[in-house]
């Protein structure tokens, strides 16, 4: 049994997870599950990048201590990975003590190799990217190429890593190991960067407090990228658990997005060389996603709502879509229409129907998995195709050609549907003389579905198990790829499960509720939004305002004080049902007199013709907590 160590980038906790993070992480999950089925001892790592100037600033903007802020966002990442069925073996956080010790040890190793020196640095720095840019990489207004936000001029005395010294060794390594950087276009990009020459890089910051102290000079912190890259070794015990470290290092695959290629393919390998450690075997940089042709951006509202997609369609269609629709190394454009088309065609029609028809026929004519006692036309072709499909799709998965692997599997799904069409088992089952032939055909379809359940498991684990339950197996993955080496392992006589549709068709008319997009001039910025002081407000008292049937007078606790508020919600709420609830108050609204009563704020509510619904915080939270 081999080992396989696969990693994702660790994500900045400057904001909750978005589709870009999910894309890499879902891909890594498919690889991890695939290698486990292939029999490897897999270590699958993901986590969060929590230090540096950017996080320091954002925590301050939120009015939170850094660690508390990081804990909150790291929890969001964990929740999202749970929702997407990510099977990571470990979740690393760069604020973990163990990680921080490893970073210091790594720094020392490089220092002792004579590759760290003190020098001055001046340059343009993007806090969001946490990196310096050359002037010619910026636009005319000095904005960074990734975020389009202004860079800052930084002038400091820092520690430097002698990166330039490693240029020749790196070039040689990349030339001798054609698979080291993939895809080919990215490899060429790195080669040409190396050919241009390398400059030494600053690896510490004197002005940033939120980081790992430089072991030889605690007045500085280690540059967040050096800190972050170390996660790949600290998570498996570098400097702490030699046995585990030796078992898994070097990584077999670092999966990253194309914008962080230089750090992974130049800085990281050079540092590893300096520290005397082996290099990762493969670095694969995937493309970027856009939506409807435009860059994803929270500020413009052009986002892909993963939570919403999963809640609406289920986790597996989401995993399927993103890996099927795009070629992993290239950029891809998401549209709601493409999602629905794929869902209906590939999932509802092809796979859903195959299972439905097979199970329907099997249960109608046989009460358990029938015996394959009468071979006939097409059977050998189906058997050979099943075995070949597995071989091909596994090989494509090893190359990270997820879309091609799925296409190969779907050719087989469609072939089985055609097989049913060609052989018409419903007709054969109706006559005594051909009933055993019908049983054989249905057996082949069920066995084909067993193959499919194993082959799609890395992509759609839930669906795979649902299929297995229906075709008479247990609802767990108790096989690996070795069970796909031969045909006919499904035992005749197994009781069939309940037929349940896997993917209800999406009706197209209702499928794309277009969110009403505000006009450009009506948009507000995050700064505008932040002007609102929204607070959790616990209702202490409530009563009707005399002489009106619309108004309630509430007394609410907002932590620091009590406020009296008049709210037009009496037709939908009785005073009794509101007492004790925690609502949301706009706390910095100028007081106003309503029916002669002063109202010191406004309660948030949604209003329709039928009545209104107030925003109630759905779990206990201290009065006065900021809502954003
Ligand atoms: N913290 C660094 C990585 C350190 S790794 C030692 C970082 N974090 S990040 O939060 O910005 O996440 C970067 C990753 O998010 C990219 O590498 C990529 O995997 C993913 N994506 C972010 N936006 C994306 C798209 N629009 N499309 C696809 N993936 C993108 O950089």
Is residue 298 part of the annotated active site? The answer reads yes
Is residue 21 part of the annotated active site? The answer reads yes
pTM: 0.81
pLDDT band at residue 509, thresholds of 50, 70 and 90? low
Ordered structural domains, the chain, with CATH: 3-115+162-286 (3.40.50.620), 343-495 (1.10.730.10), 526-626 (2.40.50.140)
Instruction: Give the distance (Å) from ligand 1 centre to CA of residue 19.
Output: 10
Strands 217-222 and 213-214: antiparallel
pLDDT band at residue 571, thresholds of 50, 70 and 90? confident
Strand, coil or helix: 271: helix
Atom of ligand 1 nearest to the CA of 14: 10
Work out whether the CA dihedral 190, 54, 153, 100 comes out positive or negative. Answer: negative
Is residue 144 part of the annotated active site? The answer reads yes
pLDDT, tens digit (0-9, with 9 covering 90-100), for 169-214: 999 999 999 999 999 999 999 999 999 999 999 999 999 999 999 9
Going by alpha carbons, the residue nearest to atom 6 of ligand 1 is 229
The catalytic position among 118, 246, 295, 418 is 295
Going by alpha carbons, the residue nearest to atom 7 of ligand 1 is 11
C-alpha closest to that of 413 among 331, 485, 502: 502
The catalytic position among 147, 246, 364, 491 is 147
337, 339, 342, 347: CA torsion to nearest 10: -130
Contact 370, 428 (CB under 8 A): no
Atom of ligand 1 nearest to the CA of 231: 6
Is residue 531 part of the annotated active site? The answer reads no
The residues, ordered by sequence, that sit 6+ positions from 384 with a Cβ below 8 Å of its Cβ are none
Is residue 173 part of the annotated active site? The answer reads no
Is residue 295 part of the annotated active site? The answer reads yes
pLDDT, tens digit (0-9, with 9 covering 90-100), for 132-141: 898 889 998 8
Mean predicted confidence (pLDDT) in 560-585? 90
The residues, ordered by sequence, that sit 6+ positions from 105 with a Cβ below 8 Å of its Cβ are 238, 239
Atom of ligand 1 nearest to the CA of 268: 6
Instruction: Give the distance (Å) from ligand 1 centre to CA of residue 122.
Output: 26
Mean pLDDT of the chain: 94
* Residue-level pLDDT at 511: 46
CA gap 406, 347 in Å, rounded = 12
pLDDT, tens digit (0-9, with 9 covering 90-100), for 315-348: 999 999 999 999 999 999 999 999 999 999 999 9
10 Å CB burial of residue 556 (0-12, 13-18, 19+) is: buried
């Amino acid at each position: 049994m081999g080992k396989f160590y696969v990693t994702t980038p660790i994500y900045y906790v400057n904001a909750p997870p978005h589709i870009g993070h999910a894309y890499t992480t879902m891909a890594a999950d498919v690889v991890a599950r695939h290698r486990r089925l292939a029999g490897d001892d897999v270590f699958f790592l993901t986590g969060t990048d929590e230090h540096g100037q950017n996080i320091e600033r954002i925590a301050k903007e939120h009015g939170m201590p850094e660690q508390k802020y990081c804990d909150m966002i790291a929890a969001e990442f964990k929740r999202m990975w749970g929702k997407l069925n990510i099977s990571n073996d470990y979740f690393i956080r760069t604020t973990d003590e163990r990680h921080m010790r490893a970073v210091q040890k790594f720094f020392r190793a490089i220092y002792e190799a004579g590759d760290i020196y003190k020098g001055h640095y001046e340059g343009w720095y993007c806090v969001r990217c946490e990196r310096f840019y050359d002037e010619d990489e910026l636009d005319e207004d000095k904005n960074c190429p990734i975020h389009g936000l202004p860079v800052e001029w930084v002038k400091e005395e820092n520690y430097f890593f002698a990166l330039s010294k490693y240029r020749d060794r790196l070039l040689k390594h990349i030339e001798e190991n054609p698979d080291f950087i993939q895809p080919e276009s990215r490899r060429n990009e790195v080669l040409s960067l190396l050919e241009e020459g390398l400059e030494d890089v600053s690896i510490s910051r004197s002005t940033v407090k939120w980081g790992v102290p430089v072991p030889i000079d605690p007045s500085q912190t280690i540059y967040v990228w050096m800190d972050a890259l170390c996660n790949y070794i600290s998570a498996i015990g570098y400097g702490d658990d030699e046995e585990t470290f030796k078992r898994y290092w070097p990584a077999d695959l670092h999966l990253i997005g194309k914008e962080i290629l230089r750090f992974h393919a130049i800085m990281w390998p050079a540092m590893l060389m300096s520290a005397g450690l082996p290099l990762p075997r493969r670095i694969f940089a995937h493309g970027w996603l856009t939506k409807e042709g435009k860059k994803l951006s929270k500020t413009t509202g052009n986002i892909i709502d993963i939570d919403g997609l999963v809640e609406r369609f289920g986790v597996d269609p989401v995993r399927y879509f993103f890996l099927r629709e795009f070629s992993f190394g290239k950029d891809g454009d998401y549209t709601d229409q493409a999602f629905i088309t794929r869902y209906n065609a590939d999932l509802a029609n092809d796979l859903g129907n195959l299972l439905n028809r097979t199970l329907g026929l099997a249960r109608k004519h046989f009460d358990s998995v029938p015996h394959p006692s009468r071979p006939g036309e097409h059977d050998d072709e189906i058997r050979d195709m099943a075995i070949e499909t597995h071989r091909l799709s596994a090989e494509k998965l090893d190359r990270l050609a997820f879309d091609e692997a799925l296409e190969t599997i779907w050719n087989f799904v469609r072939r089985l549907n055609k097989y049913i069409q060609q052989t018409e088992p419903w007709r054969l089952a109706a006559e005594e003389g051909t009933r055993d032939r019908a049983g054989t055909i249905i057996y082949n379809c069920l066995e084909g579905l067993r193959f499919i359940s194993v082959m799609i498991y890395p992509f759609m684990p839930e669906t795979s198990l649902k299929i297995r339950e229906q075709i008479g197996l247990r609802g767990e993955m108790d096989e690996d790829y070795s069970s796909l080496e031969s045909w006919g392992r499904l035992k005749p006589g197994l009781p069939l499960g309940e037929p349940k549709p896997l993917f209800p068709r999406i009706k197209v008319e209702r499928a794309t509720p277009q969110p009403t997009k505000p006009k450009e001039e009506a948009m507000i910025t995050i700064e505008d939004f932040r002007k609102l002081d929204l607070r959790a407000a616990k209702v202490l008292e409530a009563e009707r305002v005399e002489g009106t049937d619309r108004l309630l007078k509430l007394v609410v606790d907002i932590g620091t004080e009590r406020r009296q508020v008049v709210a037009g919600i009496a037709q939908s709420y009785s005073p009794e049902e509101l007492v004790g609830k925690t609502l949301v108050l706009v706390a910095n609204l100028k007081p106003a007199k309503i029916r002669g009563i002063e109202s010191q704020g406004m309660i948030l509510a949604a209003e329709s013709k039928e009545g209104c619904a107030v925003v109630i915080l759905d779990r206990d939270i201290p009065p006065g907590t900021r809502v954003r």
